[in-house]
């Protein structure tokens, strides 16, 4: 009887070990909605920012053609965004003075992958030429991003405008101040 009991106990222990050993802790990831896709084109969002914080000059919004890979097209992307190419972007628009030498440039880009927003923002800040107008210079520069949108604003301090006022307007349009900087 002891042998049968010992054998039965051994079998039960073996099955319990196999059952316990077969289970692996599965990662429990709650579904998150961390990806923020901002609604609207870059042109529409730029116009909203300028509507909230108007400029004192005649200006206009211009979309940038991402499909133009000619020398002029690539120059246009570099001139306006500071980026060497439009790789990883899906939309670009620029708001600048229509004429004159006013150091002001408001640029928005949409990144294809929100995870790259910070990298794109850093590249824009490092690559933009604050003297692109040749005879004037922007000395107030900020680059911020929210979700899949990155905004670059640069102005000359002698214009009476500040980059921060446009960042504040961007926050209103985005409905958040949780920016990538």
84-137, pLDDT tens digit by residue?
999 999 999 999 999 878 999 999 999 999 999 999 999 999 999 999 988 899
Predicted confidence at residue 172, as pLDDT, reads 95
80 pLDDT above the threshold of 70: yes
- Please name the residue that has the structure tokens 């990538």: 180
Q: How many residues does the chain have?
A: 181
**pLDDT classification of 22: cutoffs 50, 70, 90:** very low
Distance CA 108, CA 123 (A): 14
8 pLDDT above the threshold of 90: no
**Nearest residue to 33 (alpha-carbon basis) of 89, 114, 88, 90:** 114
The maximal CA–CA distance of the chain, rounded, in angstroms, is 104
Q: DSSP assignment of 28-72, as one string?
A: ------------S-HHHHHHHHHHHS--SS-EEEEE--TT--SHH
Torsions phi, psi of 42, nearest 5? -65, -35
Mean residue pLDDT of the chain comes to: 84
Give yes or no for a contact between 66 and 123, defined as CB atoms under 8 angstroms apart. no
18 pLDDT above the threshold of 90: no
| Helix 117-127 and helix 71-81, axial crossing angle in degrees, nearest 10 | 90
70 pLDDT above the threshold of 50: yes
149 pLDDT above the threshold of 60: yes
The number of angstroms, rounded, from the C-alpha of 81 to the middle of its chain's C-alpha atoms is: 13
**pLDDT classification of 35: cutoffs 50, 70, 90:** low
Q: Collapsing DSSP states into helix, strand and coil, what is residue 112?
A: coil
């Amino acid at each position: 009887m002891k042998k049968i009991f010992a054998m039965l106990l051994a079998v039960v222990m073996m099955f319990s070990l196999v059952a316990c050993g077969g289970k692996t802790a599965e990662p429990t990831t709650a579904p998150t909605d961390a990806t923020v896709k901002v609604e609207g084109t870059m042109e529409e969002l730029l116009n909203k920012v300028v509507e909230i914080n108007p400029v004192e000059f005649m200006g206009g919004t211009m979309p940038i053609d991402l499909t133009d890979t000619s020398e002029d097209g690539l120059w246009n992307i570099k001139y306006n965004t500071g980026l060497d190419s439009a790789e990883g972007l899906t939309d670009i628009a620029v708001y600048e003075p229509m004429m004159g030498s006013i150091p002001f440039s408001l640029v928005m880009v949409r990144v294809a992958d929100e995870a790259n927003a910070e990298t794109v923002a850093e590249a824009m800040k490092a690559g933009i030429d604050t003297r692109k107008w040749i005879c004037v210079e922007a000395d107030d520069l900020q680059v911020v991003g929210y979700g899949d949108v990155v905004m670059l604003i640069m102005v000359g301090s002698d214009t009476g405008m500040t980059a921060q006022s446009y960042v504040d307007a961007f926050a209103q349009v985005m409905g958040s101040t949780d920016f990538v900087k």
